[in-house]
Amino acid sequence: MARWEPNAPQRLADAALELFTERGYDNTTVLDIAQRAGLAKSTFFRHFQDKREVLFGEDALTRPLVAAIAAAPTGAAPLEAVACGLDALGQDIFTPAYRAFTVRRRAVIDAHPDLQEREALKGVSLTASMAQAVTRRGVPGLAARVTAELGTLAFKITYERWSDLSNTDEFGDIARQTLDEVRAAALSVCNSAASSTGDSLF
């Protein structure tokens, strides 16, 4: 296989997951990954800082998410703008062809606490990017933060549901349903709190 074929990042990611599954994460080196992908070690480091970063690509998620939030209709409510962002992730990243990769990725991360920590940090970064995108639409700071937190929760639940091989629904459809459930749950909690004080929060 030629060393300079296109789509090197995905080839490296596929090779890494194969090796992580076969040998274990700790027993796989960067050189192993590059060789399995048919690429040079230097090519690996042009795309990733280390083998852990093969599993985490914030920019790949952030760019389409933020762009879609910005492009949402002018009159769209904050959570509807976030829904547009999640739709974009379903179209650009979480496609049916990517589902098997996602399942293997989750298995590797679930087996390593340090990778779980990195996944959590990724979630924090995604929330911050989402909040900034919503703020740029003119939503006040606190409301933008709350929207982003709800959006991130919806994304996490959607990701879990979508990466279950027994679920054949598309990512965007799951995201829309999940966001509705999260919105309803938040409203229920706020109304329960309001009933205990006699005030209406919505």
Question: pLDDT at position 5, please?
Answer: 58
Domains belonging to the chain, first-starting first, are 8-53 (1.10.10.60), 57-197 (1.10.357.10)
Question: pLDDT at position 68, please?
Answer: 97
pTM (2 d.p.): 0.81
Residue 175 phi/psi, 5-degree rounding, is -60, -45
30 or 113: whose pLDDT is higher? 30
Contacts of 167 (CB under 8 A, 6+ apart): 161, 174
Average pLDDT over every residue of 23-48: 93
Average pLDDT over every residue of 144-154: 96
Place of tokens 């979630």: 123
